[in-house]
Structure 1
Amino acid sequence: MPSIVGPLKINSVGGGTVNFGDAFYIAPKSSAKTNSGSGSLNTGDFINTNNLVSSTNPFDSDLYDQIISRNA
């Protein structure tokens, strides 16, 4: 069914999909990898992390973790 969209302002879209009107199939494509050390992604108030030795190996032996090659 057709839709009429009036004036619109989108400041930002982070990690989401914006759709107007009819949609049969929506498949957003993205891939990301994060390498972080011990205790670096903790969130909250009054965090206390004690890490004597911490090592992060950002090298990956395989070439692709998630292949995004087509729009299907």
Structure 2
Amino acid sequence: MPAIVGSVSVNSISSGSVFHVGDVQTICPVSYAKTYAGAGSFNTGDNLRLENGYNVTFTQDSDVNDSNAAANF
């Protein structure tokens, strides 16, 4: 059903976001990311104490396509 939309303020839209005004049948936002992190990388909180010995994050990826988005379009 159509609607009257007043002023709209958009501060930010990231790569996997959708800004939609009006009628729609299907919305399919697709976003892929690959993240490498070593020991203790994603810890959050107050007064953390981390004791990590020697560590290695292996980033070698032998396959060609990790996230094939061709089927989503």
Identity %: 42
Provide the C-alpha distance between the structure 2 equivalents of 1:51 and 1:41, rounded to a whole number of angstroms: 13
Question: What are the within-5 Å matches in structure 2 for residues 1-72 of structure 1?
Answer: 1-14=1-14, 15-69=16-70, 72=73
Shifted more, 54-63 versus 11-20: the winner is 11-20
SS across alignment from 2:70: coil
What TM-score, normalized to structure 2?
0.82
- Structure 1: which 5+ runs fail to align? none
TM-score, normalised relative to structure 1: 0.83
Task: Show structure 2 runs of 5+ residues with no match.
Answer: none
Q: Deviations over 1:7-49 (max 9, x none)?
A: 1111113454322222211100111011010101111111111
Q: What's the RMSD between the two structures over aligned residues? A: 1.7
Length, aligned pairs only? 72
